Structure 1
């Protein structure tokens, strides 16, 4: 309805940049970015110094994945208004998405300089430091973001991810739990709790957290896959198969899910099925050493020794030590 009204207003007054600008915002809110950009173009054509039109067109370009165009518009906004905190922050995000983390940090620095209590700026700079693997700097920024806003759930989540990467599981668990306390719909925090509890061998607790992650985000193939791993390690193979099936349904190119399905079929003595699954895993990712090794075991049991030797050699080439041991033990081959 708003767009219809703006279109009528444009017909009545086709030289009013404000009407085009507002129509652009309406299209942007509907995620119709091309139409939004068209209207911002018209607003800028009528008023070449329309800072807000450049800024919002940059957002539409950014959300469309047109990063160079977004940066050009943001540069123009900065030229028109050098003290716009949000513009530096958005340009920093664009640079981050382009992998230009040093440029991103420069922009986040400027945004924080212009607005000292800028929670989002500290958080985003922390994410840039994370990508640069400067974890201490990242933690400092997330600490600052949390200090500025103790209810900023993303700050706890992002700091938790850093602690997880650093292997500081207790601190990570505390942060993910705090993030969930603030935002009970935080599926990612439940997911990482599941990963940590799995890594420390608490499989049932891991499953409980993956359950929550899946409940909140039923399309999370990683949560299904990792819950499947927990079920597998508990010997609950049917549950594991169901989860690997779901992971593959959501992502038909999920090589590791095919690999784990192959492992389960092999453990059940269903070697032909195992080989089919391992074939698919290898087709999707030729560098899974364990898939070649496991297929080699299946071929050996089926007495297809030449195929077994070939797979053990390939697995050994990819760094699988057990494959080298089996070549020596089963075939007296030093490899």
Structure 2
């Protein structure tokens, strides 16, 4: 109750100052206050100010866009997509809103909606590397690897100092089992930015495929030291520990990864592998049978399903 009174008092005190202001200047002020709250790591407070701006102008695209960013800070993906859609509705050529919505669609598993945004970005600004970056991410998810690679290469031509784009290209070559080309691109990325965590994670995956589990573990630990918020880094570390005969430590990291991202099928595969190593046929089949149905081309699934069935 005291908080409500305080807000009313502040509003009353500023009413005279703002009485001569236009709605245009008022909404801009609310937008700036919202931005300050975001910078202070207070997304809920930011949402209140953005809502005030929108109340003054229901077509205020910038307020919808920034409001979407605040929702993202709160892990409210659906709400963020809704606000970005409103920003785009009122400003169809809003590049940043379309780019962010495309990334959100990818995170939400809406790959074809993300593709529409990516194609729109190329039309809006065909000289912006982000347009092709989003195209590449979408086509990678849709397993159109040749198209994804072309898009990442185009993005890299437009932004040659971006190590992420080299890692993206290396990832596609990794999927295509061209490990030598992937390693070559990772070497180039190291020269641009040796502190890129995804670079070290991908290098760990290549080491694992080559049977070098010690180096795989070392590389993924480097990735985690640079970015400790990625679930798949912990999942990979857990997998490598399984193959280094540290099964319980590996399982703990795989479970941690699942808690961070329950949608990752690779973590479920790794739990299946753990149970095969433990000789637990029933638990292993619980994971591997369904994965084999849904992801028949996933590495190690068929191999460990056969091992589980033989237990």
Fold agreement, TM-score > 0.5: yes
1:260-282 CA-partner distances (Å, limit 9, x unpaired): 4984xxxxxxxxxx57xx49x92
Tell me: higher relative CO, structure 1 or 2? Use CA pairs within 8 A at least 6 residues apart.
2
**CA contact under 8 A between 1:225 and 1:257: conserved in structure 2?**
no
Return the index of the structure with the highest Cα Rg: 1
Identify the residue that residue 103 of structure 2 maps to in structure 1. Answer: 93
Gaps of 5+ in 1: 1-6, 264-273, 290-317, 327-335
Identify the residue that residue 235 of structure 2 maps to in structure 1. Answer: 222
TM (norm. structure 1) is 0.67
Identify the residue that residue 35 of structure 1 maps to in structure 2. Answer: 45
Question: Any residues of structure 2 matched to 1:129-208 within 5 Å, and which?
Answer: 129-208=139-218
**CA contact under 8 A between 2:235 and 2:254: conserved in structure 1?**
no
For 1:251 and 1:95, the matched residues in 2 are separated by 22
- Give, in angstroms, the shift of residue 71 of structure 1: 3.8
**CA contact under 8 A between 1:160 and 1:173: conserved in structure 2?**
yes
For 2:77 and 2:275, the matched residues in 1 are separated by 40
Distance 1:92 1:204, change over 3 A: closer
Identify the residue that residue 313 of structure 1 maps to in structure 2. Answer: none
Equivalent pairs counted in the alignment come to 270
Distance 1:99 1:323, change over 3 A: closer
- Give, in angstroms, the shift of residue 215 of structure 1: 3.7
Greater Cα shift, 28-37 or 204-213: 204-213
Match of 2:306 among 320, 327, 334: 320
For 2:71 and 2:255, the matched residues in 1 are separated by 32
TM (norm. structure 2) is 0.72
- Give, in angstroms, the shift of residue 91 of structure 1: 2.5
For 2:109 and 2:272, the matched residues in 1 are separated by 31
Distance 1:177 1:8, change over 3 A: farther
- Give, in angstroms, the shift of residue 194 of structure 1: 1.6
- Give, in angstroms, the shift of residue 214 of structure 1: 4.1
Identify the residue that residue 14 of structure 2 maps to in structure 1. Answer: 12
Distance 1:175 1:45, change over 3 A: same
**CA contact under 8 A between 2:272 and 2:288: conserved in structure 1?**
no
**CA contact under 8 A between 1:210 and 1:227: conserved in structure 2?**
no
- Give the secondary-structure state (helix, strand or coil) at the position aligned to 2:177: coil
- Give, in angstroms, the shift of residue 129 of structure 1: 0.7
